[in-house]
Amino acid sequence: MKKRLIILSILAIVIGLFPLNHSFASELSNKLKGRILLQVESKGEAWYVNPKDSNRYYMANGSEAYNIMRSLGVGITNKDLEKIKADKNIAKKQQGKIFLQVENHGEAYYIDINGNNYYLKDGEAAYQIMRQLGLGIKNSDLIKITLSEKDKTASSSLEFYQVVDVVDGDTIKVKINNETKALRLIGLDTPETLDPRKPVQCFGREASQKAKELLLGKEVRLEVDSTQENIDKYGRLLRYVWLDDGTLYNEKMIKDGYAHEYTYEVAYKYQVQFKAAQKEAQDNKKGFWSSTTCNGDTTKEAQQLVSTTTPQVSLNQTSGKYYTSSYSTSKYYYPESCKGWEDLNTSYLKSFNSLEDLLKTYSSKVLSPSCN
């Protein structure tokens, strides 16, 4: 993080945005209309200054930047868009604006200060534009630019809060105004580990451990969703959690196969995005979607995946390569002739030149029943 801030500080100097004189502080919003700004004295937070109202809009990450820039875009015909693309002089007159192709499918384009156009294909493209074109700005100058009404109503989401406890993958505790508050995270559900009515579920421990790795002791941003209740029936705040690098934790857990997408009664803000993340995890057999872990069924007991048997073959069966998964709950190995190894998650796939070598490293592995 420190390295990134140093880079952003250098960027601010290189582009010539030095501390602004108070004599023209009142004109700051007008001077920076259409610009993307990065807070070099903080954690590189990104803002877009809307040319229409001169207000600044917070862009927490690529997806948020994409949504904001599209929502602030103005319609344009294909003919006029082509003129902008073809003539820099025309384009410069539209600098800082976002155009939406009304005659096509609403494709969005951002015009920078030099008249270059950038296609906002998706959140990733918007994120790259944020980082490539962002101007460094001091906090003392940023606050002189009026905050958008949208961000005024959600100003709490711009603050950082420390995670003091991770209950499990979808429930945490944070320190808010010197009080510890329990949060139930929106849009995801991780396998159970603490419910007294249920056994520890498949991949539950792994999900909890991943949550601790990402959150415990860290400072995060919280986001409220107006489509959901503020507090659930257990008194927990319902929130999204953003990591300090702009990653949406709720989505990441689903995308990496540690959580299921979960909708409670009413569709939430990022539902489409989270469902797509789940499909990606399932297609790529990540986490509990892998055949070597839960195969997507996290309702089974975690203990069912722990081997209590000993190797069933002798060490001198060493013909060809042997494969296994390094994942903690995996218990099988596969000779090369047994195609079951091809279904293993490549992130954990390990190969050995002999069975003896494999068992020296993974002594508790047994031959997969599919190979009999």
E-assigned strand segments in 142-286:
161-168, 171-176, 179-185, 188-189, 219-223, 237-242, 260-261
Dihedral in degrees, nearest 10, Cα atoms 64, 225, 275, 58? 10
Q: Tell me how far apart the alpha carbons of residues 162 and 143 are, in angstroms, rounded to a whole number.
A: 24
Is-catalytic flag, 184? Answer: yes
Q: Residue 207: name the closest of 293, 122, 284 by CA.
A: 293
Structure-token match 């002791």, residue found:
217
Q: Tell me how far apart the alpha carbons of residues 349 and 171 are, in angstroms, rounded to a whole number.
A: 31
Amino acid occupying residue 130: M
Is-catalytic flag, 236? Answer: yes
Q: Give the active site residue among 35, 56, 184, 221.
A: 184
Q: Give the active site residue among 4, 131, 205, 236.
A: 236
Q: Give the active site residue among 192, 206, 223, 261.
A: 192
Please check whether residue 297 is in contact with residue 202, taking contact to mean a CB–CB distance below 8 angstroms: yes
Q: Tell me how far apart the alpha carbons of residues 159 and 166 are, in angstroms, rounded to a whole number.
A: 20
Please check whether residue 183 is in contact with residue 173, taking contact to mean a CB–CB distance below 8 angstroms: yes
How many residues does the structure list for the chain?
A: 372
- Cα–Cα separations (whole angstroms), residue 18 to 12, 136, 137, 139: 7, 9, 8, 12
Is-catalytic flag, 4? Answer: no
Q: Which residues are catalytically annotated?
A: 184, 192, 236
